[in-house]
Structure 1
């Protein structure tokens, strides 16, 4: 049985997701660390899939999205990616 998109991710999957989110640019790491500090206890499979999609990007493309220099298009113009980007972009 597969998990519902609204199901909170378990500790093991969260750990794997954090490892997957390690980046080469310090700026990206800072955004992502802040994201996990704020949201890790409420991350769902929906959020995890959006984050996985973003992690497939090159570092500079990811940074452009997080800084709102660009908006997601094509395959990234999807609700899970948009939701995670909004969470990543929220200051403080």
Structure 2
């Protein structure tokens, strides 16, 4: 449960668009992620807002290891 609360807190970002996407992702997909995907999500949350937003909006491809979670973020 603490992991979920911590992730929700980390999803609060400076870009409104990013906040919206991350909150929707949390509501729809977070509970279904396996350990590897949770690690990918944590790595994505470590990125600066603009870099993460560029990856979600396909302006940058990013690390291939992050693609499974990144694809889920792009669906929201």
- Is 1:77 aligned to 2:67, yes or no? no
Higher helix share: 2
Runs of at least 5 residues in structure 2 that lack an aligned partner in the other structure: none
What is the TM-score of this pair, normalised by structure 1?
Answer: 0.73
Report the RMSD for the aligned CA atoms in angstroms: 1.3
Q: Tell whether the 8 Å contact from 1:66 to 1:85 is kept in structure 2 after alignment.
A: yes
Following TM superposition, the consecutive aligned residue runs of length 4 or more in structure 1 with deviations greater than 4 angstroms are none
Corresponding residue for residue 26 of structure 1: 16
- Is 1:41 aligned to 2:31, yes or no? yes
Size of the aligned set, in residue pairs, is 76
TM-fit CA distance, 1:31: 0.8
What is the TM-score of this pair, normalised by structure 2?
Answer: 0.86
Distance 1:19 1:49 in 2: 16
